[in-house]
Amino acid sequence: MKKQILSMGLVVMVMLLSVGRLSAQESKVVAPGAELKKLEGEYSFTEGPTADEEGNVYFTDQPNDRIMKWNAADGTVIEWMKPAGRANGLMLTPEGNLLAAADEKNQLWSISTNKTVTVLVENVGDKLLNGPNDVWKTAKGHLYFSDPLFARDYWKRDPAMQQPGQYVYLIAAGSKEPKAILMDLKQPNGLIESADGKMLYVADMGE
């Protein structure tokens, strides 16, 4: 299948990732009469909102190394997981697993409903990843993730570039091996798929 891939500005992608990721199949962005409300609690830097079938929203408070959960039924927010691998971007799969770009040790995680962590990717070509930032899994089981370099003061590794470049990778359905598919972006960040599954949108912070 021919894949069409577009890079977009960060401002537009922030809106798409914050809203579209919650309900990628919906045609309306905001329900009629909906009111904007601040969630309870204080956070240092929030990222990666993703919702389950009941409308509960998971998101990261990345500097505080935790994953939060907003309950759609009563509007409460709980600390769902801490520590959380300095998780950044998240995505819930239909199976109920939470995919996480775990930046602390430059890994891609799958977190089960009972919070068991499975490391899906931790290196490519026998080298560490730069620092996974976002992740997207398609309905057909293909998995994409971005791997830019944002040097962190909590890393114990060399903060320099680990891979030949800052790429977007694909792990095809049935495979475990990441393959770089976008190698000409400066600093790929947020990912999201179109509702019809024909496009992958990529925010390129470097541009």
**Residue 119 reports pLDDT greater than 50:** yes
Model confidence pLDDT, tens digit, residues 44-103: 999 999 999 999 999 999 999 999 999 999 999 999 999 999 999 999 998 899 999 999
What would the 3-class secondary structure string for the chain be? CCCEEEEECHHHHHHHHHHHHHCCCCCCCCCCCCCCCCCCCCCCCEEEEEECCCCCEEEEEHHHCEEEEECCCCCCEEEEECCCCCEEEEEECCCCCEEEEECCCCEEEEECCCCCEEEEECEECCEECCCCCEEEECCCCCEEEEECCCCCCCCCCCCCCCCCCCEEEEECCCCCCCEEEECCCCCEEEEEECCCCCEEEEEECCC
Model confidence pLDDT, tens digit, residues 146-181: 999 999 999 999 999 999 999 999 999 999 999 999
**Residue 201 reports pLDDT greater than 90:** yes
